[in-house]
Structure 1
């Protein structure tokens, strides 16, 4: 990942901690936790690759996993250390490094992996391949990983409420129907959007077996303004939507059109 991406997350580290607390992003969080609870082994060593400020790592530690954090942004990692310490929790290790190089870990070290974030920002296919191959290497045979991408098909839907002005250009709108590599001038920083078929193919080509995939915002995807309004005006209805969206995030009728695509994979014993 580039220094542009590192700078963005260093400068927005505190905001990234707060992000998953907002009413709409909480749906993403709960969808991800649903997949963790459903597919991860009940015990073992887990590495959170692209751990950010530690939101998911904290939950993994609470569940009893021996949790290692790896994060590109030192500022994000410092927040994770502080938050984990404040909660009197203990992580196995903290590593500030690029996800393309996991040489600090041995082969077959982890029972499960979260790979959430690195693939959002690697524009070159070869770089994404390095992340996937390294993740495969450090995962134990029979291990499980959840690998995340930003989904173009969900982004075009979300854009109706979040950035409709960009749709004044029909060519720009149609770009969201396929792969996109965005510069920092266009995206929130340098970022990569793709479609579910392309993401699934990329992950399978790295050797993983696809178990399932999900759109973690579920049927609530693209309705951020409405979700926030509901959170303020009808908390009971809001919580029902959060729960039902998470529990149905793998449903075919929803999963191809959400912003965050999570692919659940398995490493076969060979």
Structure 2
């Protein structure tokens, strides 16, 4: 199965790790929130984790350092090379057709594939593959982009199109799919998982951070902005109606213990 050419070209030439680790406030919020939510839901180490679409291994690295047994699978050869360079176990693979055996992992991460699969059939296959390889009772954590959050961006020429269709075709980056939160939950249930819990990774402050970046011309907005954004995101975890304000979503689901 082939990815869309613009996706392969974009990630083959860029530095995906820098998006989360370069010190940009928005990236730091996403990294910290992903780490704390995974720590709250993953089984204890040394549980086995399949990191599907794990890129160059940003999350696999800290999970490995925390004692987890992590395998990275990614469709971009350069990402696999970068992950291996860090000493991580990594192989080329596709979320829609995994080589791993049935019920072979305690947890599966899909922190990238869903928003690069614009067709519903492809996303459905990725969900079913995650269900197949995770053990009964095991965790799957899947990231998605929220189609309604772009409406909060003033002056966005594509916000209404994204909110309506979920699809964004860009000249400066890969084709991207944006979920409605209810759609994300429906996909998980249709693949056989229990009822999902959906979190907003960036929380309500994402577009405010973006606006401040543009106003100040800097991407590191300082400790106060970071802590305020994190506090808002954590507050929103107990108020599900606020999930629509976060650009990045994280669905946490489990495979039922019994058929």
The normalised TM-score by structure 2 is 0.88
CA distance in 2, matches of 1:128, 1:266: 17
Bigger CA drift: 25-34 or 218-227? 218-227
Give a deviation string over 1:196-223, Cα, whole Å, max 9, x none: 1111111111111134111100122212
CA distance in 1, matches of 2:68, 2:104: 13
1:98 is the counterpart of 2:94: yes
1:71 is the counterpart of 2:66: no
The aligned counterpart of 1:2 is 4
1:182 is the counterpart of 2:177: no
Q: Is the 8 A contact 1:5 1:189 kept in 2?
A: yes
1:266 is the counterpart of 2:251: no
Q: Is the 8 A contact 1:182 1:191 kept in 2?
A: yes
Measured after TM superposition, the shift of residue 192 of structure 1 is 0.9
User: Where does the alignment leave 5 or more consecutive residues of structure 1 unmatched?
Assistant: 86-90, 167-171
Number of equivalences: 249
The aligned counterpart of 2:188 is 203
CA distance in 2, matches of 1:79, 1:39: 27
Give a deviation string over 1:231-255, Cα, whole Å, max 9, x none: 756x341342254245335232432
The aligned counterpart of 1:60 is 63
The counterpart of 2:84, out of the listed 75, 81, 88, is 81
1:107 is the counterpart of 2:105: no
Give a deviation string over 1:105-139, Cα, whole Å, max 9, x none: 11101111110111111111111111000000000
Give a deviation string over 1:137-196, Cα, whole Å, max 9, x none: 000001011111111111232x32xxx352xxxxx54223233223344x7211111211
CA distance in 2, matches of 1:70, 1:227: 35
Q: Is the 8 A contact 1:155 1:258 kept in 2?
A: no
Q: How do 1:107-146 and structure 2 match up within 5 A? A: 107-146=102-141
Task: Tell me the secondary structure at the aligned position of residue 101 of structure 2.
Answer: coil
The counterpart of 2:228, out of the listed 241, 248, 267, is 241
CA distance in 1, matches of 2:55, 2:212: 25
The normalised TM-score by structure 1 is 0.85
Task: Tell me the secondary structure at the aligned position of residue 188 of structure 2.
Answer: helix
CA distance in 1, matches of 2:140, 2:28: 21
CA distance in 1, matches of 2:236, 2:101: 33
Q: Is the 8 A contact 1:204 1:210 kept in 2?
A: yes
The counterpart of 1:193, out of the listed 167, 173, 178, is 178
Task: Tell me the secondary structure at the aligned position of residue 164 of structure 2.
Answer: coil
Q: Is the 8 A contact 1:30 1:246 kept in 2?
A: no
Distance 1:249 1:6, change over 3 A: farther
Give a deviation string over 1:56-79, Cα, whole Å, max 9, x none: 111110111000001111112212
Task: Tell me the secondary structure at the aligned position of residue 263 of structure 1.
Answer: strand
